[in-house]
Amino acid sequence: MNIYIETHGCTFNQADSEILSGLLVDKKHKIVDNIEESDIIILNTCYVKQPTEQKMITKIRKFQKEYSDKKLIIAGCMVEIDRKMLKKVAPNSSWIGPHQLNSIVNIVENLEHDKIIQDIKRTDDIKVCQPKIRSNPLIHIIQICEGCTGNCTFCCTRLARGKLYSYPSNLIIKEAQNAINSGCKEIDITAQDTACYGKENNQSFSNLLNELGQLDGKYRVRIGMMHPKNIIPIQDQVIDAFKNHENLYNFVHLPIQTGSDKVLKEMNRQHSIDDYKKLISNFRKNIPEISIATDIIVGYPTETEEDFQETLKLLEEVKFDIIHVSKYMHRPGAISSDLKSVSYEVMKDRTHRLNEVKNKVMFDCNEKYLNTKQKILIIDKGKKGGYVGYNNSYKNVIVDNATIGSFINVEIVDYKSTYLLSKKIN
Ligand code: SF4
């Protein structure tokens, strides 16, 4: 069968699609890039935000209308989070849950005989050392654990991904070394929360980082999002791993969500703003070139103007390199969905003020790179020409001419809020 896979959402969901492709190709099915050539369409959904939910529903209806001759399989977080909606918009499609990837071949082959399967039960399937088709041949994504130890009030992802399940570190290391041996230059370590790795089965996140930092070959490792509450207790060991291994990008993604201790408590994030600031200072004291990304939710139902001012103050004080802003919206099954939302006007005004501070903070952060020499790994062609690479702090660097997959030296000649411009030097 010819299969077209469309993926939405995070790096973790991208890796799920790469496994679906690997399992199908292993059984002689063909993954096609052009939907017209396909017999079956797999939509791997994301459901993290309300606009994304709407987009998934629109996509399903579009596929049903414009490609009624093709079979449709719905995968991803929507399958676990909102079965009621799925029954309404895709009752005649096959469904596959995020914990069910290994049943994709069976689902496809039943669909070949017009038999629909809507299989959603949880499994203990391990998502490491599975066949995979990479979306970027140079970047290998490894899921180190699925689920989390959190109970954040605004979140519905935990309903899809479930309780923490950490995969065996020896298999993670084996997959990483195999990927490097097969020509990959970047290993992306991903999870809902990488810092909770091994908490339920006595494995060590910092040991895993040390092992990932000393594999054979020339490569870089990007560590995915870490929940501050889980890295705060192990921060010294994790910082040592970064200090001891140039192969680990000096980059951490630590979502703070708000600058207000009151709102942080109401979100059930289980740490304080002060603990967070101490964590950031510890990273910066030990790794001056560390770059720090964070996420902010604007307009959480209990957020007052005073709370919001604390968020603006925190952004200006910490000076994050990357700030992702999202508007709070009720999610199916999320604890905070019973709360009264802030008004549209308040949401619009705060989002506008937050983005102004965000753009200025990110722009000012990049000034320090001007006229510096950087070693970058070229990962892809630039969307607007040139080539895209990352320096050791996982800063996005554009250069006119380079070979994809190579490490080159550049001089930074200009900067924007989200990337640096450079020229090649010897
Ligand atoms: S936001 Fe909280 S509950 Fe949701 S996946 Fe992350 S840690 Fe888990």
What is the number of the ligand 1 atom nearest to the C-alpha of 192? Answer: 5
Cα 71 to Cα 4, 41, 74, 92: the distances in Å are: 10, 6, 10, 9
pLDDT of residue 119: 73
State the DSSP code for 7. Answer: E
CA 383 to centroid of ligand 1, rounded, Å: 32
Which residues, other chains included, contact 376 with Cβ-Cβ below 8 Å and sequence gap of 6+?
389, 390, 391, 397, 399, 407, 408, 409, 410, 422
Cα of 25 vs centre of ligand 1, distance in Å, is 33
Residue nearest to atom 7 of ligand 1 (CA): 150
- Atom 8 of ligand 1 has which residue's CA nearest to it? 150
DSSP secondary structure string for all residues of 114-148: T---EE--------SS-----SSTTEEEEE-EESB
Q: Atom 6 of ligand 1 has which residue's CA nearest to it?
A: 192
Q: Is 407 exposed, middle or buried (0-12, 13-18, 19+ CB in 10 A)?
A: middle
280, two tokens: 């950031």
> How many C-beta atoms surround the C-beta of residue 309 within 10 A?
13
Distance 226 CA to ligand 1 centre (A): 10
Please tell me the pTM assigned to this model. 0.95
pLDDT score at 383: 85
Distance in Å, CA 422 to ligand 1 centroid? 37
Amino acid 76: pLDDT: 97
**Ligand 1, pocket-test mutation among 146, 148, 271, most atoms within 8 A of CB:** 148
- Per-residue confidence (pLDDT) for residue 123, from 0 to 100: 85
Other beta carbons within 10 Å of 325: 17
231 CA → ligand 1 middle, Å? 14
Name the residue of 46, 165, 193 whose CB sits within 8 Å of the most ligand 1 atoms, as the mutation to test its pocket.
193
Q: How far is the CA of 413 from the centre of ligand 1 (A)?
A: 39
Which regions of 36-123 does DSSP assign to beta strands (E)? 40-45, 71-76, 94-96, 118-119
Instruction: Output the pLDDT for position 228.
Output: 98
The rounded Å distance from CA 149 to ligand 1 centre is 8
Q: What is the DSSP string of 99-110?
A: T-GGGHHHHHHH
Q: What is the pLDDT along the chain (426 residues), one digit of tens a residue?
A: 999 999 999 999 999 999 999 999 999 999 999 999 999 999 999 999 999 999 999 999 999 999 999 999 999 999 999 999 999 999 999 999 999 999 999 999 999 999 999 977 788 899 999 999 999 999 999 999 999 999 999 999 999 999 999 999 999 999 999 999 999 999 999 999 999 999 999 999 999 999 999 999 999 999 999 999 999 999 999 999 999 999 999 999 999 999 999 999 999 999 999 999 999 999 999 999 999 999 999 999 999 999 999 999 999 999 999 999 999 999 999 999 999 999 999 999 999 999 999 999 999 999 999 999 999 999 999 988 899 999 999 999 999 999 999 999 999 999 999 999 999 997
Question: Ligand 1 pocket: which of 192, 197, 300 to mutate (most atoms <8 Å of CB)?
Answer: 192
Determine the distance separating the centroid of ligand 1 and the alpha carbon of 264, expressed in angstroms: 13
* Pocket around ligand 1 at a 6 A CB cut-off: 148, 150-152, 155, 157-158, 192-193, 227
Q: How far is the CA of 337 from the centre of ligand 1 (A)?
A: 15
Among 154, 157, 226, name the best residue to mutate to test ligand 1's pocket (greatest count of ligand atoms within 8 A of Cβ): 157
What pLDDT does residue 124 have?
87
Closest by alpha carbon to 118, among 74, 150, 169?
74
The answer to whether 114 touches 107, Cβ cutoff 8 Å, is no
Q: What is the structure's pLDDT at 426? A: 78
Nearest atom (ligand 1) to Cα of 227: 7
